Structure 1
């Protein structure tokens, strides 16, 4: 094999390795970003569920008061 061919193959391989390293870095950053987004969405969901439960409790309490008022009249 010609040394020039070997050198060209090594350069091509080095370029592929560099491209892969950059891709791994981008994917790692994307993964971190998605994990943070997932955590934020989970927190938002938890807060919404808590607010929903509070609203449900208030509505049930209002219904109970209305029924109580209705019985007293």
Structure 2
């Protein structure tokens, strides 16, 4: 193998390595963005869940209060 062939082969190897590194960098950037997006979505869903839990508790309290009023009306009849 001549010096020119070895240099060409080394350059090809470096070019392939550089392409692979560039691909990995793009993948990391894409996954980082996806991760940020998922964390934001999770935060939003957790806030929505907390709000729904509060609303459910309020509704349960109101229904229990109505049931108790109906029971007391029933007793008074």
The TM-score, its normalising length taken from structure 1, stands at: 0.96
Rg (Cα) greater in structure: 2
RMSD over aligned Cα atoms:
0.9
**1:3 maps to 2:16:** no
TM-superposed CA distance for 1:34, in Å, is 0.4
Aligned pair count reads: 73
User: Gapped runs of 5+ residues in structure 2?
Assistant: none
User: Gapped runs of 5+ residues in structure 1?
Assistant: none
Distance 2:56 2:15 in 1: 60
> Following TM superposition, where does structure 1 have runs of at least 4 consecutive aligned residues deviating by more than 6 angstroms?
none
For 1:60, the equivalent position in structure 2 comes to 64
Distance 1:64 1:7 in 2: 84
Cα deviation code 1:30-65 (max 9, x no counterpart): 000000011111111111111100000000000011
The TM-score, its normalising length taken from structure 2, stands at: 0.91
